[in-house]
Amino acid sequence: MIIDPEKYDAVLFDLDGVLTMTMKIHASCWKRMFDAYFEERSARLGEEFRPFDINSDYKPHVDGKLRYDGVRSLLASRDIHLPEGTPEDGPDLETVCGLGNRKDRMVNEVIDTEGVEVLEGSLAVVRRVHDHGLRTAVVSASKNCEKVLDAAGIRALFDLVVDGKVAARLGLPGKPAPDTFLEAARELSVDPARAVVVEDAISGVQAGRAGGFGLVIGIDHHGDKLALQRNGADIVVEDLSEIL
């Protein structure tokens, strides 16, 4: 196994695209939310309607980021600047938080009705590192992280969860900043140099490299091997079970 128990004490896993395939749900909901907003805005202000493009907009602007960071980034790419609002904003408000909450409501509806797909190859790795005595954590930008883990029936496999709710409570910046990964290492009492980060997003491998983690593993679902390597992944696989 590439994750040598003599060299590492913990493995920190991203959620979406690493343990589960909820990224399909997120991508679809981002598109539904932004397309509806841009279409309404176009009719109201006479602007050109440019739909959200999953191929060109998802990865650079929203993938792996905290929800409101994703809204802010995508809007900035269209030169749209809205009031920040507050996390308590209703999904009908035209604010960064309002749009983010609108998308969040969509995601919850899909999870409740369709459930969550898990990546069995990744779970095999989680179980193997547990067998070798390594600690495990989920480090995700999602505020729905606990709900997804419960829906997938895999919450008990992890010693710790550092998600979007924890980041908000502690005031931690999201990926590509390394702070959420560093917080997980701190709570596990593990030196980052003796911890492994597993990510599928560019922002995630950037965070792992910036945090000085001992090994950063990238999972390539979309032919992004070179981009993952350039941005900090030491190893890139298509399925995490390959490292076994």
Residues catalogued as catalytic: 14, 16
Is the bond preceding residue 176 a cis peptide, omega within 30 degrees? yes
Q: How far apart are CA 117 and CA 237, in angstroms?
A: 19
Dihedral sign, CA of 164, 174, 235, 134? negative
Give Cα 133 to chain centroid, integer Å: 26
Token code pair at residue 1: 């196994």
Q: How far apart are CA 114 and CA 13, in angstroms?
A: 23
Dihedral sign, CA of 181, 184, 135, 9? positive
Q: How far apart are CA 214 and CA 192, in angstroms?
A: 6
Class of residue 128 by CB neighbours under 10 A (exposed 0-12, middle 13-18, buried 19+): middle
Radius of gyration of the CA atoms of the chain, in A = 18
* Phi–psi pair at 13, nearest 5 degrees: -105, 135
